Structure formats: C-alpha cells, structure tokens
Amino acid sequence: MKSALVIGSRGSQLALVQANAMADALREAATGLTVTIEVIHTKGDHIRDTPLAQIGGKGLFTKELEVALAEGRIDLAVHSLKDLPTELPEGLTLGAVPERETPYDAFVCERFHDVAELPVGAKVGTSSLRRQAQLLAYRPDLKVVNLRGNVETRVRRVAEGAVDAAILACAGLERLGLCESIRSTLPVDIMIPAPAQGALGIEVRADDAGTIEILERIADPYATAEVVAERTCLAALEGGCQVPIGALARVQGSRLSLTACVCSVDGKTVLKTQCEGAASDAVSLGQAAALQLLEQGAADLIAATR
C-alpha cells in the first residue's frame, strides 16, 4: 500500500476546507499514510469579473488540476463534483465519491425569509444560468445580476446591500461554517440543484491502483448512486456545467428517485421529469430521465445557450 499521497486543490477557502477534510478521511482510512496538499490555481479562479457562461469551455475549475494529475505532480485531485465535466481526459477516472453534503440551494438574504417575500424588482445575485432560469420561472419580476467571487465574498455582497439576496449552494456555506447565512433552503419544486451539487469527486489516474484502493475505503455507495444518475442524465443531454440543467437523485432504501429539468435562460420554458428505479440501476435511470427531457424538446433549449 502507498505510504504517501499528494492532493491537488484549488486555493479558495472552500476548496482547501474540502481538501483537508479528504486528507483527514484518508489518514483515518489508512493508518500511517502521509497526506499533503498542493494548491493549484485554475482558469476559473483567475477570471472573477465575467459571468461564467461568457467565459466558455468545460473544466474552468478543473483543467489545471487534471494536467498536474496526468503529469504525476499530484496523486489525486479533490473537486466540487458539480464542476467536473462528465467526460474526463484519457487516463483519468473518478476514484471515489465520499459522503454527500446537503445538495440543495440556499436563499441568502438580510431582510426576507424566502424568495416569495422579495419585493418586485429585487436584485438577486448568482453567476449560474441554472439558478437564474429557475428563479425567473418562479419570479419573473425579479432582477438577476451577476455575482462572482468566493462564497465569503458573495455573502458579504448581500450584507453590504449590493444585492437584495443571493442563491448559493447550501453545502459550501455549511462547509465554511456559514450556516447562519442560510435564511431558507429552496425546495426542489422551485430550484432543482446542479447535478452532483453537494458532492465531492476525487479524480485519479486510472492506472494508479494503489491510490484507488485507498480511495475505495472512503467512498459512499449512496452518494455514488445519486451522482451517477445525475451525471449520466447530464452527459446524455450533452450539457456542460453552465447549461441550465438541474438534476437531483435521492436514495431511499433500495430505490432511487431522480428529478431533472432543462430550462431556457429567461425562465419562460422549464421542462421537467421524474423517474424512479433501483438504486443499483443509476445509469439507466439517468439515461431514462434524459430521454424524457429530449422528447419534450430539451435539445433546442440546450442549443440556445451555446
């Protein structure tokens, strides 16, 4: 068994919290294992004043980590799995999905409890087309404004009054100890989360059997089934992380339910579907959900965002 591992991580506070959590889990899973973290900055980290959808390309927050992994400078990369493209570079694979945090979106606001209470014309910050589309579908009278930056910066912008509210992932706020910023959690009938939101993905070299063996010890079967269904649906729709696509799977016993949507950017069209099947058949469930959305006309909505 390997005696040492090097984790590659982005340099944000959230990324480092996630990387350190995985380092601790690996040390606990393999007695005597030495784990260090190497910070690697990505394209998405350097471009902070442009809406993500306008930057273009896949792997905005992952490519540089994958290069370091392929070159052997690191042994594994810890990603927010929603940022990781469904198609990985040749020679790399998803080594493990650990236990998942809350997958839902959070409403962050100083004055109001939920989206329904916001006054007409209120400014809501987000850099996600998925959040924008579903927010406008529910409240077309709101004004959605681009809000980039790390989690702490976006929370601060709300507190300073730059926007009336913001939509962020619950998981990021929880991992950073900012739970008090969550005024309410958005229900799925208003906001379907991004595929794999709340989950971490650990990427490794496909031929690195020693690292993969250790990672298997921290993998969570329930989280794995959920994100496989969600990412399979995303891949079948050929949608990247900036396309307005939501997907959330939940394991209940031996069953797996999947709710998914594809939206127009302006929120005027929202296609939804819901499937259920065996948790052991996550791939087929994701494919079935994608097929149902395509039959409703999802391909045209996806093409319109490119």
Q: Do domains 1-98+199-219 and 220-306 have the same CATH topology?
A: no
Report the candidate in 244, 176, 169 with the shortest Cα–Cα distance to residue 199. Answer: 169
| CATH entry 3.40.190.10 includes domain 105-185 | yes
Please tell me which residue, 45 or 170, carries the higher pLDDT value.
170
Q: What is the pTM of this model?
A: 0.92
Q: Does the pLDDT at position 241 exceed 90?
A: no
pLDDT of residue 148: 84
Tell which CATH classification among 1.10.340.30, 2.30.110.10, 3.90.180.10, 3.30.160.40 matches the domain 220-306.
3.30.160.40
The span from the CA of 89 to the CA of 244, in Å, is 24
Q: Can 83 be counted among the known catalytic residues?
A: yes
* pLDDT tens string 151-197: 999 999 999 999 999 999 999 999 999 999 999 999 999 999 999 99
The span from the CA of 227 to the CA of 222, in Å, is 9
Confidence of residue 34 (pLDDT cuts 50, 70, 90): very high
Are 263 and 242 a contacting pair, CB within 8 Å? Answer: no
pLDDT of residue 58: 53
Q: Does the pLDDT at position 47 exceed 80?
A: no
Paired tokens of 262? 């594809």
Confidence of residue 55 (pLDDT cuts 50, 70, 90): very low
Residue type, 226: E
Question: The sheet that has 245-252: what strands, in order across it?
Answer: 245-252, 255-263, 270-278
Burial 110-121 (b: 16+ CB within 10 A, else e): eebeebeebeee
pLDDT of residue 240: 64
Q: What is the dihedral of CA 241, 185, 170, 196, to 10 degrees?
A: -40
Sign, CA dihedral 128-134-135-136, equals: positive
pLDDT of residue 60: 61
298 Cβ partners below 8 Å, 6+ apart? 237, 262, 271, 290
Residue type, 138: Y
Domain ranges of the chain: 1-98+199-219, 105-185, 220-306
| Topology of the domain covering 1-98+199-219 | D-Maltodextrin-Binding Protein; domain 2 (3.40.190)
CA angle 137, 123, 136 (to 5 degrees): 5
Which range is least confidently modeled, 54-63, 252-261, 294-303?
Answer: 54-63
For the segment 257-268, the average pLDDT, to the nearest whole number, is 96
pLDDT of residue 46: 44
Report the candidate in 219, 231, 223, 217 with the shortest Cα–Cα distance to residue 256. Answer: 223
* pLDDT tens string 184-211: 999 999 999 999 999 999 999 999 999 9
Query: 24, 49, 75, 83: which one is catalytic?
Result: 83
3-class DSSP assignment, residue 125: strand
